[in-house]
């Protein structure tokens, strides 16, 4: 008989956005098998009982823009980014464990200079011999001219010939490795190279070639896209996840709205907040940090109004924005974008399950769904910031296994 766990004394936020309700939740094996006001004695027999003490049971959280390989977590800060490959692999594993410690039971990679390390971590997390979230692994971030991983000079497309063949080959090579996601930096990044966020880095022909190869090889595409034209390119060619969307114009918004049933937008407020308030020095002219904050604050409510699925994931992993602070995105969704706490949580759970392409079995507390659950000592709908305190996460379950048990 499979192991079972009964959560009792909890208010259930089921992921849909509706108000929490008192219930008992039974987990058998790795699935939720009952959600009811009170289970009969026959269903409770032999179950491990986790008494929530009036806390809130929520689906496991999903981060939709995760960088496990950037080197920094709330437990270990690295300002180097040039560690040897063997150390980088350990850092990826470490970051995965830190995510799980903070209630993030699923993660969608935003890119890694060493994609094989993510593939190894994905295997270890899936098999359960290393703690970490359900994980979708990604390529390194393809840039203009397909330079080597970690080379981000963002020269744009002027003065170079379009090269769809090399872009297609890159997608194919990453698919051969076994990644789930191939990422393309369709725009520059002013926080890395001043003044480049509004400069397009790929030709339309190149993105079309990438998309054709991705469809053929069965991998998803993600776009780093600040510039309006880069956003339009991403949508026109069926890219699944669009990061930032900072300077979307009316045409870009219309295209996003028309494609709202097949794509997701992660606006990454976490890194913007960190660049403004927690970097070591003031932003230099040309970094556009303040302009980026203003633009994102303006565009995200419009995305939501149009029914586009906006999901959390804030580029965590930098020394000034380490993994482990990820749930701050939910606070910023409320403070910057006008989400209610329930709407922010829905974005991190219901929409998160859909980002993982598991929306029919992940992201809700519902009979038949996978048992990824977080018991919160408190009410995140009254104060979303409670999720940032790992000590208030009384229990964490992934795939039916209690990673952290209530004490």
Single out the residue of 44, 42, 41 nearest to residue 25, CA to CA: 44
Give the contacts of 159 (CB within 8 A, at least 6 positions apart): none
Q: Tokens 């980002």 sit at which residue?
A: 355
Distance of CA 368 to the CA centre of its chain: 24
Domains of the chain: 4-59+361-404 (2.30.40.10), 61-326 (3.20.20.140)
What is the Cα–Cα distance from 71 to 85, expressed in whole angstroms? 11
96 membership: H or E segment, kind and range: helix 85-101
φ, ψ of residue 254 in degrees (nearest 5): -65, -40
Single out the residue of 89, 101, 87 nearest to residue 322, CA to CA: 101
Between 184-193, 320-329, 387-396, the lowest mean confidence (pLDDT) is in 184-193
pLDDT tens sequence across 323-382: 999 999 999 999 999 999 999 999 999 999 999 999 999 999 999 999 999 999 999 999
What is the Cα–Cα distance from 262 to 248, expressed in whole angstroms? 18
Residues in the chain: 407
pLDDT tens sequence across 249-270: 999 999 999 999 999 999 999 9
pTM, rounded to two decimals: 0.95
pLDDT tens sequence across 35-48: 999 999 989 999 99
């Amino acid at each position: 008989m499979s192991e079972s766990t009964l959560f009792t004394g909890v208010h259930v936020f089921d992921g849909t956005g509706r108000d929490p309700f008192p219930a008992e939740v039974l987990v058998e094996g790795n699935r939720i098998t009952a959600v009811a006001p009170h289970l009969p004695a026959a269903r409770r027999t032999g179950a491990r009982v986790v008494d929530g003490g009036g806390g809130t049971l929520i689906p496991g959280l999903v981060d939709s823009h995760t960088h496990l390989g950037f080197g920094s977590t709330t437990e270990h800060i690295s300002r180097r980014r040039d560690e040897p490959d063997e150390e980088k692999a350990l850092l990826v594993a470490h970051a995965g464990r830190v995510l799980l410690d903070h209630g993030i039971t699923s993660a969608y990679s935003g890119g890694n200079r060493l994609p094989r390390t993510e593939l190894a971590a994905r295997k270890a997390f899936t098999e359960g011999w290393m703690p970490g979230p359900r994980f979708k692994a990604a390529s390194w971030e393809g840039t203009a001219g397909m330079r080597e991983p970690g080379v981000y000079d963002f020269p744009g497309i002027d003065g170079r010939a379009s090269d769809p063949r090399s872009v297609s080959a890159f997608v194919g090579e990453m698919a051969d490795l076994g990644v789930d996601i191939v990422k393309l930096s369709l725009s520059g990044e002013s926080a890395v190279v001043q003044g480049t966020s509004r400069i397009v880095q790929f030709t339309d022909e190149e993105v079309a070639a990438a998309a054709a190869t991705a469809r053929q090889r069965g991998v998803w595409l993600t776009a780093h896209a600040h510039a309006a034209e880069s956003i339009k390119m991403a949508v026109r060619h069926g890219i699944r996840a669009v990061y930032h969307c900072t300077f979307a114009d009316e045409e870009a918004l219309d295209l996003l709205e028309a494609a709202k049933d097949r794509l997701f937008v992660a606006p990454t407020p976490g890194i913007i907040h960190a660049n403004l308030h927690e970097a070591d020095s003031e932003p230099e002219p040309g970094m556009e940090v303040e302009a980026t904050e203003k633009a994102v604050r303006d565009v995200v409510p419009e995305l939501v109004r149009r029914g586009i699925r906006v999901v959390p994931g804030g580029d965590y992993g930098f020394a000034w924005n380490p993994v482990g602070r990820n749930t701050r995105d939910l606070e910023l969704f409320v403070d910057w974008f006008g989400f209610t706490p329930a709407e922010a949580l829905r974005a991190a759970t219901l929409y998160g399950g859909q980002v993982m392409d598991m929306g029919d079995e992940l992201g809700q507390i519902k009979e038949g769904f996978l048992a990824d659950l977080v018991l919160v000592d408190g009410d995140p709908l009254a104060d979303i910031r409670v999720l940032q305190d790992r000590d208030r996460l009384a229990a964490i379950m992934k795939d039916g296994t209690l990673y952290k048990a209530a004490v």
